Amino acid sequence: MTLNVKSRSPWMSYATPERAPLVNDARADVCVIGAGIAGMTAAYLLGRKGYRVIVIDDGPVGGGMTGRTTAHLMSAIDDRYHEIERLHGEEGARLAYRSHAAAIDAIEDIARHEGIDCDLDRLDGYLFLPPDGDPAELVREYEAGLRAGVEGLAWADRAPIDALDTGRCLRFPRQGQFHPLKYVSGLARALEGLGGVIHSGTHAVGVHGGEHPCVATANGARIDCDAIVVATNSPISDRMAIHTKQAPYMTYAVALRVPRGSVAKALLWDTLDDYHYVRLKDAEGEVLIVGGEDHKTGQAHDSETRFARLELWARERFPVAREVLHRWSGQVMETIDDLAYIGRDPGSDNVYVITGDSGMGMTHGTLGGIVVTELMHGSETAWSHLYDPKRMTLKAASTYARENANVTWQYADWLKPGEVPGEADVMPGSGAVLRRGVHKVALYRDEAGVLHQMSARCPHLGCAVRWNALDATWDCPCHGSRFDARGEVLNGPALTGLEPVNASEAPPVTPTAMPPDSRPGATP
């Protein structure tokens, strides 16, 4: 299942592997759920260690958020080293640097070893101030970066933007960029060469850990295994424990044509909150990619305005920019303490999770595969404990409280009126939530004029979904579950789609579960 074609990244024209669905029960050493960069890296590394691996995914390899990245590879943490140091100490910051640098090296090594042509470049990254920015912020980051051991970190007179004198900035060497779908396609080929099996069109509806782990699928087939890796962007194996410690955000990107050789090949970030990031893609002539403008999933409806702001920001700094070639969105999971959750699932034995990309999905996904493989193999990397999903970071308590208060507030939707007065107000190709007595119904009218009616209740924890006109999806504003226009689940934590309803019936609006932060003792 894929999102609306109106929202497409430059990578999505590349055809990734799609394999036959699983139709019969199967047995493997490890079942990996999710064929994005996290799942495919874990599967490949496990295959190299001799494990028999089955990978399942709803869609093709890389068909989820991996194809919606801007594909920058960073050891320059986007939440900044001084913040990582505040939350995790100097040693934590050192491990964060070492792990992300190791992830970039791993991508380079795997691509070379397997002969994967994925347009990989190593290049410098620059962190610069916006107009009227505080120079002390860069000094603070420079000093924290030195304490973290960032190799080659140095001052530069200005970032390589011809039309803008950024002033003094920080240069991070040996960052990277690549074509994410070419890379994960190469991982898929390599995995199959190691005896691994991939099944597309196979939706997991049950993840059961314990002494005899197994995965149940929507078509009735079952996979028995010794261990399960859940690499689904947002984990589908966990109902609350991890979801109270991370929040889903939508992020936006535009790609503009620029004359070849007119823009320096580098990664660029400013220090705004919400910050902007820039990279150059050498294809279709030459393409400048600019991203940012994040917001909580399901909690804003102004994508056109956000795209316009990104385009304006880009054109002011890169006057050579020509037409917009691509506009797209993606979902990232922001943890309360700025680092991913990778390792043993807190609630299930023999289940491992990779989540919490915090806007650095390509490196987080890669180091996730490394960590999970080593844990399963009976050893640990030096940084495994840093990403432990069971961790509780007391210094992030205020963020925890704020994010969970935001979730609680979303339940007030059940008390509000509908978005439209009646079914006739839903135009072809659009959706809206309608109040029908004490019920709320998600209505979608397809291009042929046929009205599709579903419960507005997210099956995960009972929040009311909201229509996303850009992607033609129903998005849950609580924990980031997403559904296509007709209610089929696209993204967890929900395991199933929105319940279809008839005009004369609808489920009650009262959610069956209390908001996560209402549980006694639910504090970090």
Q: What is the pLDDT of residues 52-74, one digit of tens each?
A: 999 999 999 999 999 999 999 99
Model pLDDT, residue 237: 86
What per-residue confidence (pLDDT) applies to 523? 31
**What integer is the mean pLDDT of 126-130?**
93
Q: Which residues, other chains included, contact 127 with Cβ-Cβ below 8 Å and sequence gap of 6+? A: 76, 138, 141, 169, 170, 172, 269, 270, 271
How confident is residue 276, by pLDDT bands cut at 50, 70 and 90? confident
- Give the pLDDT of residue 511: 40
Q: What is the mean pLDDT of residues 267-279?
A: 85
Mean pLDDT of 85-94: 96
Q: Is the pLDDT of residue 79 over 60?
A: yes
Residue 6 pLDDT class (50, 70, 90 cuts) = low
Distance (Å, rounded) from C-alpha 293 to C-alpha 295? 7
Question: Taking 50 as the threshold, does the pLDDT of residue 519 lie above it?
Answer: no
Percentage of the chain beyond pLDDT 70 is: 94
CA gap 58, 199 in Å, rounded: 8
Instruction: Give Cα 1 to chain centroid, integer Å.
Output: 16
Q: What is the pLDDT of residue 386?
A: 95
Highest mean pLDDT among 397-411, 469-483, 506-520: 469-483
Per-residue pLDDT averaged across 126-153, rounded? 94
Name the token pair of 118: 């994925």
Residue 104 has pLDDT above 90, yes or no: yes
* Nearest by Cα to 40 from 11, 70, 64: 64
CA atoms within 13 A on the CB side of 466: 20
Alpha-carbon gap, residue 397 to 182, rounded angstroms = 40
pLDDT digit string (tens) for 214-225? Answer: 999 999 999 999
Residue 518 has pLDDT above 60, yes or no: no
What residues form DSSP beta bridges with 325? none
Q: Specify the domain boundaries for CATH 2.102.10.10 within the chain.
A: 414-513
Which pLDDT score is estimated for 399?
84
**Which residue would you say has higher pLDDT here, 503 or 150?**
150
Q: How confident is the model at residue 358 (pLDDT cuts 50, 70, 90)?
A: confident
Domain(s) of CATH 3.50.50.60: residues in the chain: 19-69+181-244+338-402
Has residue 285 got a pLDDT over 80? no
Asked whether the predicted pLDDT for residue 148 surpasses 50, the reply is yes
Architecture of domain 414-513: 3-layer Sandwich (2.102)
Q: Is the Cβ–Cβ distance between 209 and 351 less than 8 Å?
A: yes
pLDDT for the residue numbered 404? 78
pLDDT tens for each residue of 398-446: 887 888 788 787 777 777 888 888 888 899 999 999 998 888 999 999 9
Determine the length of the chain. 524
Contact at 8 Å (CB) between 445 and 429? yes
**Among the listed residues 252, 299, 289, the one whose alpha carbon sits nearest the alpha carbon of residue 268:** 289
What confidence category does residue 284 fall into, taking pLDDT thresholds of 50, 70 and 90? Answer: low
Residue tagged 């549980």 (tokens): 519
As given in the structure block, the two tokens for residue 156 are 């530069």
Q: Are 225 and 25 in contact (CB under 8 A)?
A: no
Q: Give mean pLDDT, residues 226-249.
A: 88
pLDDT in tens, 156-215: 999 999 888 999 999 999 999 999 999 999 999 999 999 999 999 999 999 999 999 999
For the chain, residues classed under CATH 3.30.9.10 are 120-176+247-333
Q: Is the pLDDT of residue 515 over 80?
A: no
List Cβ neighbours of 483 (8 Å cut-off, separation of 6 or more): 465, 473, 474, 475, 489, 490, 494, 497, 498
The rounded distance, in Å, linking the Cα atoms of 302 and 88 is 35
**CB-based burial of residue 524 (10 Å sphere; 0-12 exposed, 13-18 middle, 19+ buried)?**
middle
Burial class (CB in 10 A: 0-12, 13-18, 19+), 108: middle
DSSP 53: E
Q: What is the mean pLDDT of the chain?
A: 89
Residue ranges of E strands in 181-286? 197-199, 204-208, 214-217, 222-224, 227-230, 246-257, 267-270, 277-281
Architecture of domain 19-69+181-244+338-402: 3-Layer(bba) Sandwich (3.50)
Residue 517's pLDDT band (cuts 50, 70, 90):
very low
DSSP string of 374-391, one letter each residue: HHHTT---TTGGGG-TT-
In angstroms, how far is CA 161 from the centroid of its own chain?
Answer: 29
Task: Identify the burial level of 52 via C-beta atoms within 10 angstroms of its C-beta, where 0-12 means exposed, 13-18 middle and 19 or more buried.
Answer: middle
> What local confidence, expressed as pLDDT, does residue 283 receive?
55
Architecture of domain 120-176+247-333: 2-Layer Sandwich (3.30)
